A and B are shown apart, each in its own frame.
Chain A
Amino acid sequence: EAGVAQSPRYKIIEKRQSVAFWCNPISGHATLYWYQQILGQGPKLLIQFQNNGVVDDSQLPKDRFSAERLKGVDSTLKIQPAKLEDSAVYLCASSTQPWTEGSGANVLTFGAGSRLTVL
């Protein structure tokens, strides 16, 4: 089974520039997540999709971050304009189980991540 694919693996930009990250989840996985992981911290959920609908984007800085999953398969996360504090690894993950209220059980498979450095 192919894993979660992400690109680019590394990106260096200057502040106020824009950047986009792409993720292709495991085939058949309905739920897709974008996490931000700053060095020394645990992953922080930015946005969660179920098929092409947003389940949770409460921690997404919507003034500069946007994400879409138009056909319910791959997804793009964009940052515009970038700030120094956006330097982090952006992890995409997917899971096989669709979200249902009260289900709880949900194991995530992560991609290798996209490492962003903002100068």
Chain B
Amino acid sequence: RKEVEQDPGPFNVPEGATVAFNCTYSNSASQSFFWYRQDCRKEPKLLMSVYSSGNEDGRFTAQLNRASQYISLLIRDSKLSDSATYLCVVNRGTGGFKTIFGAGTRLFVKA
């Protein structure tokens, strides 16, 4: 079983739709969590950190559920420019520091 798992998708949604992605992690020692965005043939870039209390950045909302060991990303009012792969990232700060990426969820937003 992979340490960070995501639904690969693809998610095909119309402009203006709301879409949600989930990510599960297996190591309870994981300490910090992020969503990165990767455009086709580009490098990953930080989208947002995920805080325990949940956080919002414009149309994007991230949630963390430590008890169930999952992270979510909600995108409201989808834009064509949101089409990308969304990578769930987990940092483990004990037992050997590691930054571990999920395989990503592909999103296509269509007009």
Contact = CB atoms under 8 A, between A and B. Distances in A.
Interface of A: 33, 35, 40-45, 48, 55-56, 58, 91, 99, 101-113
B104 A42 contact: yes
A48 to B, nearest CB: 8
B57 to A, nearest CB: 14
B14 interface: no
Nearest to A111: B43
A33 B45 CA distance: 15
B32 A112 contact: no
B43 A113 contact: yes
Contact of B46 (A40, A104, A108, A112): A108
Contact of A43 (B44, B45, B97): B44
Contact of A107 (B6, B8, B49, B104): B49
Given A41-B104, A101-B93, A103-B97, 19 more contacts: A42-B4, A42-B6, A42-B87, A42-B104, A45-B100, A48-B99, A56-B96, A101-B94, A101-B97, A104-B91, A105-B91, A107-B34, A107-B49, A108-B46, A110-B44, A110-B45, A111-B43, A112-B43, A113-B43
A42 B25 CA distance: 14
Majority secondary structure of chain A interface residues (helix, strand, loop or mixed): loop
Given A56-B98, A111-B43, A104 B103 contact: no
A106 B43 contact: no
B11 interface: no
A59 to B, nearest CB: 10
B91 A106 contact: yes
Contacts of B70: none
Nearest to A35: B101
Interface string B42-75: 1111100100000000000000000000000000
A41 B92 CA distance: 20
B103 A41 contact: yes
8 contacts: A42-B4, A55-B97, A101-B93, A105-B31, A110-B43, A112-B42, A112-B43, A113-B43
